[in-house]
Structures are given as structure tokens and as C-alpha cells.
Structure 1
Amino acid sequence: MDLGLRDRIAVIAGASKGIGKGIARALAAEGCNLFLLARNGDELRATASAIADEFGVTATPVIADVSDPDSVRAAAATVRAAVPEINILATSVGTAIRRQDRTITWSDEDWQADIEIKVTGILRVIREFEGMIASDGSGRIVNITGASGMMTWMPALNYGMNNAAVIHATGYLAADLAGRGITVNTVVPGIIGTEWREGWAGGMAGDQDKADWLADFCGSKGIPVRRWGKVEEIGDAVAFLASDRAGYITGTRLVVDGGLTANIR
């Protein structure tokens, strides 16, 4: 499906791998030219080069650490020097669930480290780039959050609170930017088969067929379709929200979770 995005300019934060890379590929497939932000320069340059070669678009790597306000500000200055405005800003940043111990016992520093990346990091990116977003009706912000922001996921206290905070901020920003014709939405993934998760599943399956193990695992987590999502499926959801076809959608949560949050019993 042609979503009418050809030659639009997109900035994707967290684009070197995982869901962010899936978003970049989906937008490139629609003909968008990209600025890809991430902190790992080697991974970022490799992703940008591969996308440019495959889709014939411009994919410019811009190193940025969302936990560092000066780094985000410098990244925005780099983009501003290259193009007069952008159409799409997608944020896919955050940490994995790093620890399995009780989050309530963590130190202030450990709590803050996650918040600095997911919540404050996304707000930093939006703060520095929103002034560059087109006000002709093509302006889009799409934040990636997570199902843990809509449900209790043990032991992910910090992880869930961060996602819930970004869901709230999305609604606020939708109202704040509506006067400029910019829509702001969030895609809420469930469990997604990123590169790391695919490798983890292979190890966990052991001698069992990986597909069978994965179906059992997803079923045990309450996912009725008994599989986890693909990064491409999240990318497709973002591409739709970035298109003119979604011009009347703002402040909403597009849940892509295979039924995880349907609470089927």
C-alpha cells in the first residue's frame, strides 16, 4: 500500500536496532528520507548504510545519546543544518528490563537511570525537534511505549511506570501541538521479537523446536495468538500513523500486542 509518504523527512530516535530499526525500514519502504539517531555509532552507520542501499533513500546517521541534553541538542542542530523542516518524528528509546529483583529496593540512581532514557530522553528529543516539524498537516510524532504501561507486568515496576508516563505525555502533546496541525500518537507493542529476544528464545528452547517453545511461552504470558510480534509489524503501524490516512487520529494508543492486554481469561 502506498501511504503517500514519498520524499517526506523522518527522524527516528533509537534507530540502530530493534523496533527503531524496524520503523526506519518501514518508512524507507514508503520512500521517506531518514535521519537515524542512536548512541552506538558503528551499529547506527551500518543500519543507515543498509537501509539506503536497499530502499534507495537517504539515511543519515546522527549519533545522539538521549540521556545527554547536549547530545540531543547537537543532533537537532545537525538535522536543522541539513533540511528546512521534518515531517515525522518517531521515538523508540528505552532500556530493556535489566534486572529481575524487586524494583522497589533499587537505589535512587538506578531508578533515575531508566527514567533519564525513557521518559526524560523522549521529552528531550521532542523538545529539540518539535520546532522543526512541518505545520502543513503532514507533521507527525509517534512514540513507542509498551504494554507494561497499561498493565502490571512483574517485575517491571520502573519499566511500566516509564511507559505509562510516555503514554500520558503523548496525550498532553497531542493537545499542545494540535494548533500547528501536528498529530501525536503512541504505538503500544506487546512482546516483540527483536534481535536480542530472538537470540534469547533460541537459547531458552534448547533441544525443543524454537517455534513450539515460543508458542508455549507466549501462551503462558496470556497472548491468545501464541506468538510474539515482529518489528516489521510495529514499523507498519508507525508508517500508517505517519501518513495522511491517519490525519484525524491524535492523542491515541495504537496497541499492537497480539491480545496481551485484552485480559482474556
Structure 2
Amino acid sequence: MRFSGKVAVVTGGASGIGRATALRLAEEGATVLVGDLDMAGGEELAGTSNGRIRFVRTDVTSEADILALLNAAAELGGPDILFNNAGAGGLRAKIDEIDAAGWDRTMDLLLRSVALGIRHAAPLMAKKGGGAIVNTASVAALAAGAAPTAYSVAKAGVLHLTKLAAADLAKDKIRVNAVLPGFIATNIFASSIGLEGEARERANALIQGVGQQAQPIQRPGRPEDIAAAVAFLASEDASFITGTHILVDGGISVGPRHSWDPSTPGLFEALAALAPTE
């Protein structure tokens, strides 16, 4: 019960990573406020939590909604923990095809919302003597090829913002860290391209299959894998950790496939095969 007596705020908590994290924090004693646009999912989650989870309809692109969510946490004595997690795939166009409106919408959802969440949580946490903030970035923040351009740029911004916020808020005993999910089996992939119903189910099945082969740990990542990392970073077990991130990606970022898959030869192995044998 690491979070007994604590009040946590989770954005994007009605499904996927956010839902798993809200459940994990509640299981460990926290009172959790979930902010999301998905009223059905949020209310269902709250209704099955024996009062440990409460739902507040929240559009994280609205500063007023972010304030309302955090003020609701303050009325309960918090926030002690903030998990800035809400997001979606955003603009899918390549850099030579983007439009300004789509770019701005993606940045508002994935980066501006995190900055405003930190900005408005920090004074409330400072009054309590400190707190812990965890932001959802992505392996896409580290290199090309994992996600569309706008999404990747926004997540790289989240990663750097995490460092800057950690420096700014250290004086108030507020720790700020990030978690970088890899290939996690959630609906975000299908939703980002507008799939619904049977098409979404087929897409999710495809994701499960690909995830088993995409990285050294040969299974798709689960929302619970991210929730465990978030819970650690939010806890006193991580009291000496700030301004950094945890990769939870099954090893997908360790190197090209030949570095971990013996059935895929790399350049060195290919060249060695050309060497004359005695």
C-alpha cells in the first residue's frame, strides 16, 4: 500500500495505459481522479472501484478542464501524484505534407497538455511539501520510424520538458520523470487511423501478433507493464530519481534486429561469411 492516503490524478485514464495505471495506484491505496473524454469508460471504471477511483470529464486541450481536474484533486487533499498520460496518434502526415492546423492539434494534445498539467499541479503540490509527476513520452521520442512525425516530435518535447520541469521544481520537492512505452497493445493504434468495430478487433489481433516478434522480449507490451513503471516512479522507492525516464519497450530500442535475433545476420556476420576458410 505504497500510496495509502495519497491522491493521484491520471489523464487519459478511461482506457489502455491510463486505466491500468489508475487501477494500480488505487490497488496500492491511492484515491485516483481519472480525467478523460470517454465518459462511458471513465464512469464504468469509477463505478467498479469501490470509491477508490473517481471520474472527471476532462479535455486536456482545454486549460480550464485541466484546472478543474486538479482543483477536484485539491478538494480531496491532493494532488500528490500526477500522471500526464492522455493522448492519441495525432497527425499522420509526413513533414512535407503536414498542415498547420493538424500539427497544432497534435502538439496541443500531446505536449501543451503536459506542460499545463505540470504548471497547474506544481503550486498545489508545493503547498503539500512535494509530489511526483510522471509523463508519458514514447520510444518515438528517441528515433525515427516508430510513429508519425508530429507524434514523435511532441513526445521528444515531453521528454525534454520532463528534464526542465524537474530542474525548475526541485526547490519544491516535486520530482518529474517520464515513462517511454514501446509496442504496447492498446487501442491507440487502431483509433489513430479511425478503425472501429470488427476492423478494430482485426487490427488489435495484428498488433498482438507483430508485438510477439518485434523486440527481444517476444510478447506485446501490456498496459500493466507501463502501470508498474509509473507506480515505481511515483512512489518513495524512486525518491532519489528525477529528470529522467524509464524505457518500457521489451528491448526494441537496444539495437537493430540482428543484434538480438541470431536468425538475422548483421553486416559483420555477412562479411565474415565471405572470408576464405582454411
- TM-score range (shorter-chain normalised) is 0.7 to 0.9
Change over 3 Å in CA distance of 1:196–1:119 after alignment to 2 = closer
Count of residues in Structure 1 that have an aligned counterpart in Structure 2: 250
Change over 3 Å in CA distance of 1:218–1:185 after alignment to 2 = same
Matches within 5 A, 1:78-157: 78-80=72-74, 82-96=75-89, 99=92, 101-133=93-125, 139-153=131-145, 156-157=148-149
| Pairwise CA RMSD | 2.4
Structure 1 length-normalised TM: 0.85
Please tell me whether residue 73 in structure 1 is matched to residue 67 in structure 2. yes
| Per-residue Cα deviation, 1:191-236 (whole angstroms, up to 9, x for no partner) | 111146698785159xxxx69x845x23664x12222211011101
Change over 3 Å in CA distance of 1:149–1:218 after alignment to 2 = same
Look up the match of 1:25.
Answer: 23
For 2:54, what is the secondary structure of its paired residue?
Answer: strand
- Separation (CA, whole Å) in 1 of partners of 2:166 and 2:20: 24
CA contact (8 A) 2:81 2:133 kept: yes
Greater CA drift, 26-35 or 195-204: 195-204
Larger Rg: 2
Q: Which runs of 4+ in 1 moved over 6 A?
A: 198-201
Give the gaps of 5 or more residues in structure 2: 191-197, 259-278
Change over 3 Å in CA distance of 1:250–1:200 after alignment to 2 = farther
Q: What's the CA shift for 1:42?
A: 2.3
- Separation (CA, whole Å) in 2 of partners of 1:5 and 1:138: 14
For 2:237, what is the secondary structure of its paired residue?
Answer: helix
Give the aligned residue type for 1:115.
Answer: M
Structure 2 length-normalised TM: 0.82
Please tell me whether residue 225 in structure 1 is matched to residue 206 in structure 2. no
- Separation (CA, whole Å) in 2 of partners of 1:261 and 1:87: 32
- Separation (CA, whole Å) in 2 of partners of 1:78 and 1:135: 15
Greater CA drift, 109-118 or 65-74: 65-74
CA contact (8 A) 2:89 2:188 kept: no
CA contact (8 A) 2:91 2:148 kept: no
- Separation (CA, whole Å) in 2 of partners of 1:249 and 1:83: 26
Identity within the alignment, %: 27
Matches within 5 A, 1:1-265: 2=1, 4-50=2-48, 52-53=49-50, 57-80=51-74, 82-96=75-89, 99=92, 101-133=93-125, 139-153=131-145, 156-195=148-187, 203-204=202-203, 214-215=208-209, 217-218=210-211, 221=214, 223-264=215-256, 265=258
Greater CA drift, 223-232 or 158-167: 223-232
For 1:260, what is the secondary structure of its paired residue?
Answer: coil
Give the aligned residue type for 1:64.
Answer: T
Give the gaps of 5 or more residues in structure 1: none
- Separation (CA, whole Å) in 2 of partners of 1:225 and 1:143: 24
CA contact (8 A) 1:103 1:156 kept: no
| Per-residue Cα deviation, 1:157-182 (whole angstroms, up to 9, x for no partner) | 11110110000000001111111111
CA contact (8 A) 1:102 1:155 kept: no
| Per-residue Cα deviation, 1:13-72 (whole angstroms, up to 9, x for no partner) | 11111111111011011111111111222221112222x23xxx5222111111112222
Q: What's the CA shift for 1:131?
A: 1.3
- Separation (CA, whole Å) in 1 of partners of 2:132 and 2:146: 33
CA contact (8 A) 1:190 1:228 kept: no
Change over 3 Å in CA distance of 1:195–1:204 after alignment to 2 = closer
